[in-house]
Amino acid sequence: MAEAERIIGTPDITGAEGSGETGPDGAAASPDSAVPPTPDTGATAADAAVDRSPATRRRRIILLFCVAVVAYLLDLGSKMLVVAKLEHQEPIELLGDWLKLDAIRNAGAAFGFGEAFTIIFTIIAATVIVVIARIARKLYSLPWAIALGLLLGGALGNLTDRIFRAPGVFEGAVVDFIAPAHFAVFNLADSAIVCGGILIVLLSFKGLDPDGAVHKD
């Protein structure tokens, strides 16, 4: 009998014995089938791709302040030019009656609203600047850096007028000069604030946070 088994050969059952499992048809199960599924942690592919290194955060903060500085300098330069050349002069027509340059002093908020609450708007602008500085500590998103930079530059632009222009500190009137037809007169700081706010709303609808995380509803 032993001689017959030596001639015929014995089946190789090492793999089946090693796994200890068989499939529905009696065959040995593959090693992959014994691997438990990876638990779902809730992280998305976009979250995994976010670079949250200190170097990335520094670059985003630098971008935020660069955008803010550009917005601030454009607003400040335009106001200085308007005060020097346009104030107390006839409006300049750019597109007929549809768009004019008309220098006015605005004690209210953006677009001339709330003139009786100048100090309140000054405090709000200062608070916005502080909030942006706090958010910047966990900033890794490029679009958020641009949006916050626009908000910061616009807030600083109008806050400068509140502090340094007449009638007094924290009560100064903002210089407005862009006058579309059938709309309030505004300035470049107002435009930066509105553009930054719209961008933040869009980013929020898309579920993108300042730290780069993406939330899917």
The tens digit of pLDDT for each residue in 9-29 reads 555 444 444 444 444 454 444
* 161 labelled catalytic: no
DSSP state at residue 117: G
* Catalytic residue chosen out of the listed positions 75, 161, 190, 209: 190
The tens digit of pLDDT for each residue in 120-176 reads 878 888 999 999 999 999 999 999 999 999 999 999 999 999 999 988 888 889 999
> Measured between alpha carbons, how far is residue 24 from residues 28, 37, 149, 151, 216 in Å?
9, 20, 63, 64, 39
The tens digit of pLDDT for each residue in 63-101 reads 999 999 999 999 999 999 999 999 999 999 999 989 999
pLDDT at 35 over 50: no
* Catalytic residue chosen out of the listed positions 12, 97, 161, 176: 176
| pLDDT score for 44 | 54
* 176 labelled catalytic: yes
The C-alpha atoms of residue 71 and residue 189 are separated, in whole angstroms, by 7
Beta strands in 84-189 (DSSP E): 92-93, 99-106, 174-180
| pLDDT score for 181 | 94
